[in-house]
Structure 1
Amino acid sequence: MKRNFTVRRGALDGVEAFLSVARHRSFRKAAAELGVTPSAMSQAVRALELRVGAALFIRTTRNVGLSEAGERFHARARPAFEELIAASDVARDLGQRPSGLLRLTVPRAVVPILLEPLIASFSKAYPEVEVEIAVSEGLVDLAAGGFDAGVRMGQFIAPDMIAVRLAPPFPFVVVGSPKYLRRRGTPEQIDDLRQHACIRIRRSNGTIAPWSFVSGNKPIEAIVSGPLIAYDFPTMLGAALEGMGLAQVPSPIATGPVKAGKLLQVLQPFAPMTPGVFLYYPSRHQMMPKLRAFVDHVKHRSATNHDARLQPDDRRARSTKKR
């Protein structure tokens, strides 16, 4: 038989009054502590006794003592009430200053490039906030997953989310190892991919993503084939480094291997641009201090990095425009 665990409406009414009277053994002193009249205190306790179905106090003209039912009720109610007060204090504290657990859902490729330096500086600035990073390539419902915010490329973020830029727009590039390209040749046109081993990625919905290109202003999708299907871009990049085939990946994760000569870019004229990477979260009205602090930290670092990239002449020009 299924039991009903729902707390009755008003079941907690009078409990604070009861505990105060039990502590002081006096309705008058309890009333003074809670800032109400002795009559109001007496009515609150009587209403509680009616709901409980037993007298909780033994009253005389000079003394107030606990009945047997009152002793048992007090033994269970006092620690429970103290826990409720503690829970309220913890929740209030989280609502007043940056503290607690900040949960973020992010793609694996973003962690070393963007988040590691960002999280390190944020944790130094806000030591009372714990940061949890959950790696996921799929689109995650923040509320259902219990996340405060997420990181995704701009084209995948729902329009009802608030987005803060983490990285500027960048292209998707096709890369291959020098060894692979010597063996299979360098593709010059999109159709040349038919003769190449292409490393693919499976989306979170189960489909295999086509490769995307642009020719002039026209977007093109190419169905490719190859020896490996991955679930994230770092795995694709690793396979390309091993010479398994070509991979189409976000340019920021390929920059290091390309500069080191471990990978070469091909089909560059056809590389499509993406809006960039963003931090996203729900309405500002629901924002806790820990998330507000993180968003402000992201914005501050973005502004600082932007100013650092400007040349001295560029800074003067921007300052002149403002005046």
Structure 2
Amino acid sequence: MKEDLNDLTAFLAVARERNFTRAAAQIGVSQSALSRTVRALEQRMGLALLTRTTRSVSLTDAGERLVSTIAPRLEEIDAELDSLRAMTNRPAGTVRITTTDYAAHAYVWPRVQTILREYPELKIELVNDYGLSDIVADRYDIGVRLGDQVAQDMIAARIGSDMTMAIVGSPKYLESRAETRVPQDLMLHNCINLRLPTRNSLLTWELRKGRRQLQVRVDGQLTFNNVYQIVEAALGGFGLAYVPKDLVERYVESNRLSWVLEDWFPTFVGHHVYYPSRRKSSRAVELVVEALKSGYQGRAVTTPNGTIDAPRQRHQRANGIG
């Protein structure tokens, strides 16, 4: 039996959102109409695709199998239609990008402004997320992460220099504390944490000095899921912050913040833009990728097999700032 493509698209929306209300809003129908569409699909197939409760929606085994089977094919159809539309040479449509607040501020937003003004038909949806989203499963067109956070089956290109992480505190905060000489002294400090979405965890502070590497779990009064709020809290004297060094250098130069354990600051391979290797990119996606790459003056690294010029990241920091 051939199923209507719109019914399958509706089912995929519910499968992604795990919520009928959000899925209905996403595809522009009422919640009741969407529910009827999915039930009719299940009846025609003779299979339960979703398990519904008053609080949640989850996939059955049959539903999981259907998603894994049809989602990639529908993406290929969408990509091909985008490619055909691109024959007009006028980029159009929405490009969805997953990244973090820091990378969005440092790289993405400064480099896409020009093309947004030049191509009014182009739309960009920028989602800040400290979890490592699966850009295929979550239907993103582009990801921006540190190079060693990129999956091996992606096409990737460097868009930023290597990133150094730093620990800082305000002079007012530090004057009331004993001198911090070794990483273990961080246990005596009020440290400002970054919340990660994966398993409700906090970012571990990774430190390096020569060949020595440490991962320190810190504690303190404040936890944020936004690096800029962490910087503001550090400026306010509420504790130590572990943030990208270039984000706070101006505050150190103006004596509003001070380096802590400076000889332990780690450096990681810089940010890369990446996208699925099996997907034929639309003109809009190609335009955004080129804009992100063009802002980097160093050596670009493009890898059809996804290999980056850096070792694979350890699990802990794979969920961290990127």
Q: Offset of 1:113 from its aligned partner?
A: 2.1
**Aligned equivalents of 2:245, 2:92: Cα separation in 1:** 35
Q: Secondary structure at the match of 1:224?
A: coil
Deviation at residue 144 of structure 1 after TM alignment? 2.3
Say whether the 8 Å CA contact 1:152–1:278 is kept in structure 2.
yes
Q: What residue in structure 2 maps to residue 191 of structure 1?
A: 184
Distance change >3 Å, CA 222–CA 253, structure 1 → 2 = same
Structure of higher RCO (CA pairs closer than 8 Å, 6+ residues apart): 2
Alignment correspondent of 1:29: none
Q: Determine if the alignment matches structure 1 residue 240 to structure 2 residue 237.
A: no
CA drift of 1:186 comes to: 3.5
Paired position in structure 1 for 2:121: 128
Distance 2:235 2:147 in 1: 27
SS of equivalent to 1:145: coil
User: How much is the aligned-residue C-alpha RMSD, in angstroms?
Assistant: 2.5
Pairing of 1:105-254 with structure 2 (within 5 A):
105-205=98-198, 206-254=200-248
| Counterpart check, 1:258 vs 2:248 | no
| CA 256–163 in structure 1, closer or farther in 2 if over 3 Å, else same | farther
**How far does residue 284 in structure 1 lie from its aligned partner after superposition?**
6.3
Structure 1 residue 204 displacement after superposition: 2.1
**Partners in 1 of 2:186 and 2:246 — Cα distance?**
23
| Aligned counterparts, 1:250-289, within 5 A | 250-283=244-277, 285-289=279-283
- Percent of aligned pairs sharing the same letter: 29
Q: Which runs of 5+ in 2 are unaligned?
A: 6-79, 300-322
- Give distance in 1, aligned partners of 2:197 and 2:167: 22
The count of residues paired between Structure 1 and Structure 2 equals 223
Per the alignment, in what secondary structure is the counterpart of residue 101 of structure 2?
coil
Superimposed CA distance per residue, residues 78-100 of structure 1 (whole angstroms, 9 cap, x where no aligned partner):
xxxxxxxxxx9887214653221
Q: Distance in 1 between matches of 2:235 and 2:128?
A: 23
TM-fit CA distance, 1:249: 0.9
Please tell me whether the aligned partners of residues 163 and 268 of structure 2 are also in contact (alpha carbons under 8 angstroms).
yes
CA 1:94–1:261 in 2, change beyond 3 Å: closer, same or farther?
A: same
Partner-residue secondary structure (3-state), 2:201? coil
The 8 Å contact of residues 160 and 272 in structure 2, kept in 1 or not, is answered as yes
**Distance between the aligned counterparts of 2:238 and 2:195, measured in 1?**
17
Provide the secondary structure at the position in 2 that maps to 1:109. Answer: helix
Q: For 1:51-66, what aligned pairs fall within 5 Å after superposition?
A: none
Q: 1:219 to 1:95 in 2, by over 3 A?
A: farther
8 Å CA contact retained: 1:113, 1:253: no
Unpaired runs of 5+ residues, structure 1, are: 9-87, 308-323
Kindly indicate whether residue 288 of structure 2 is the aligned counterpart of residue 291 of structure 1.
Answer: no
Bigger Rg over Cα: 1
Task: State the secondary structure of the residue aligned to 1:286.
Answer: coil
TM-score, scaled relative to structure 2: 0.63
How many angstroms apart in 2 are the aligned matches of 1:226 and 1:89? 51
Q: Which residue of 2 aligns with 1:93?
A: 85
